[in-house]
Structure 1
Amino acid sequence: MANAKQQNSAARRAKLEEARRKERARERRNRIITITASVAVVGALAAGAAYLMSAADDKDKAGAQAKSSPVTGERTWDKLTQNHVEKKVDYPMNPPVGGDHNPVWMNCDADVYSKAIPKENAVHSLEHGAVWVTYSSKAKKADLDKLRERVESTPYSLMSPVEDQAEPLMLSAWGKQVTVKDSADSRVEQFFTKYVQGPQTPEPGAACTGGIAQ
């Protein structure tokens, strides 16, 4: 009888020990899985952060290159006058990129005008660091839609028709002007990057709101 009881007790202890061994093994596996998953998540986050930093660096470098590189086909005018006048001005270029202008600027806080605006007021906007997108009736609607989207998302820019300009699509800043082929022309991005509140601006930081609107 004693031997049978001892054998049963020994068997129960063995089963209990085996169960405990399996539980410890299961816990070790769970810890390994948890640690491995944590390492994978941390690694993914680190890789993602590194990618984002690299992408940001690439964007900064691209922006710096766009600002330092000349815009192909760009025309430049120096020594432009900045007098405030309340009369029509006979500008030597069309659209005008500087010179005497109206005392009140055209609102240029991502403003799109469907009708022609006074050039004397638009020049004042350029003095404040705005980029002015102009177009004639020869411009394609698809290009105008894309350029409109660009202006509407860019403070210190404005857009309006200038029917008597030489080419369908033109971009102007103070003392700077370029003709572009279409809205996908890479010079559109470069011109905006370089000249919205760019180094050519006579009065950087001056308002683009509080002027006049159409």
Structure 2
Amino acid sequence: MGSAKNTSTPSRKDRIAEMRQADRARERRNRVLAVVGGAVAVAALGVGGFLLFSHTSDGSADKADSKPWPAYKVTEDGEKVWGKLGRKHVTRQVDYPMTPPVGGDHDEAWMNCNGDVYDKELPEVNAVHSLEHGAVWVTYNDKADPADVRKLAAKVKATPYSLMSPVEDQKDPVMLTAWAHQRTVSGADDPKVKEFFSRYVQGKQTPEPRRRTPRPRATPRRSPSWRRM
């Protein structure tokens, strides 16, 4: 009996010691897991913040900075006039709310506008840059009278800081556009044509006036399918 009691008592103590040691090991393991988990969470937050910062610091940042378009007013004789427009140089396409556009963010390269007449549609982002420097842009669609197109082309060719091109999606057959100004005219003989050119070719509305005849620029980076007449 005594022999059996003496052998069982150490065994129970050993089991208790093993249980306590296992408990301490679990506690240490839990503490380690908690520390590692916290570090992972912090790292994840850091990576998420970096990715968010990177997303807003790459080429999409200029898109995020875009401001709402100002409303326009219509004068008594039908000319549309916009408020202050954005003027950032961007590398993306711009969703202009009017056709053709009257201003706004645009490409860093402008279309040649030294009396240039094009027979293909132009990249809007490049034509808008021409407007920024005081050009008047004459546009027409397939409803325009061919005789009017020829007369207007002759006027543009004789006028530095002007350009002309077709815009099939525009509302009216013949339209005239300067920075923040636009009107429809009935044709080449409409008196408003001369008035518009006189007022807006390098006019007071020009954000960046240039006092010399514009020099030719390199082909815009988007390789538009246009050519001059």
- TM-score class, shorter-chain normalisation, is 0.5 to 0.7
Runs of 4+ in 1 over 4 A off after TM superposition: none
- Cα distance in 2 for residues equivalent to 1:127 and 1:188: 20
- Cα distance in 2 for residues equivalent to 1:126 and 1:98: 7
> Does 2:89 align with 1:110?
no
Residue 138 (structure 1) aligned to one of 143, 157, 177: 143
Contact 1:71 / 1:187 at 8 angstroms: preserved in 2?
no
Contact 1:106 / 1:208 at 8 angstroms: preserved in 2?
no
> Does 2:105 align with 1:88?
no
Q: Deviations over 1:89-132 (max 9, x none)?
A: 00011100100000000000000000001000000000000000
Amino acid at match of 1:97: V
Amino acid at match of 2:148: D
What residue is the counterpart of 1:182 in the other structure? 187
What residue is the counterpart of 1:161 in the other structure? 166
Name structure 2 gaps, 5 residues minimum: 1-74, 220-226
- Cα distance in 1 for residues equivalent to 2:168 and 2:181: 20
Q: CA deviation at 1:197?
A: 0.2
| TM-score, normalisation: structure 2 | 0.61
Which of 1 and 2 has higher RCO (CA within 8 Å, sep 6+)?
Answer: 1
> Does 2:216 align with 1:210?
yes
Give the secondary structure class of the aligned counterpart of 2:195.
Answer: helix
Q: CA deviation at 1:71?
A: 8.0
Q: CA deviation at 1:208?
A: 2.8
Q: How many residues align?
A: 145
Name structure 1 gaps, 5 residues minimum: 1-69
Give the secondary structure class of the aligned counterpart of 2:127.
Answer: helix
What residue is the counterpart of 1:121 in the other structure? 126
Give the secondary structure class of the aligned counterpart of 1:209.
Answer: coil
- In terms of Rg, which structure is larger? 2
**Root-mean-square deviation over aligned CA pairs:** 1.4
Q: CA deviation at 1:211?
A: 1.9
Percent same amino acid at aligned positions? 57
Structure with greater helix share of residues = 1
Amino acid at match of 2:131: L
- Cα distance in 1 for residues equivalent to 2:215 and 2:180: 22
